[in-house]
Amino acid sequence: MSGSEITIDAADGSGGFSAYMATPSGGEGPGVVVIQEIFGVNQVMRDLTDMLAAQGYSAICPDIFWRIEPGIQLTDQTEAEWNRAFELYQAFDVAKGMDDIQATMTAIRGHQACSGTVGAVGFCLGGFLAYLSATRTDCDAAVGYYGVAIENQLDEAANMTKPLMLHIAEEDGFCPKEAQEKIHAGLGANSLVTLHSYTGMDHAFAREGGEHYDANAASTAHARTLEFFSANLG
């Protein structure tokens, strides 16, 4: 299955940004916004978008780094690319990024390939933004994989009205044990939140081809995500 590039107009009138979109073979399904890691809309993100389309979703992965530099596609294979990825991460404006994610949700919700409901799923930086999607956007459900810095925004959970699932890597170098404890303490009792912890897993255990990729953990997390979306997006 292959997708195509579309352009989404920014809500603040500052221009348009690209997004990779893949639709199901039936031509229509619930929408899912795929929120990138710090490496841009690269092949890993495209493959995940295609995977969701193969499962019946109209999936779309927006270029949330476009305000810094459009079209970033890095890998995790070289030190230079890691350095550039962290530069982009440091320069990223979270508030503007959330505006662009909401614009993407609005665009996909109104697209002919979307049956109406819209979810969000994000990885790494995107996992954090998926958490914020549950508190700041009109998405119908959100899933975050090994989100970074969620523990710093737990007060936002008071604004949550739609279900959220978080996949937490217990050995995550970017979300240490203390941060994980804060997340469990802050969100564990929230009836809208489902937390899954993965013993022995490090950050990006679902990034195929990455240093910490674990096929079994990734498969388990993806199955849980698909079941969650099936229950909450229809």
| 8 A C-beta contact, residue 38 and residue 86 | yes
- State both tokens at 109: 């919700």
* Residues annotated as catalytic (active site), given as ranges: 172, 203
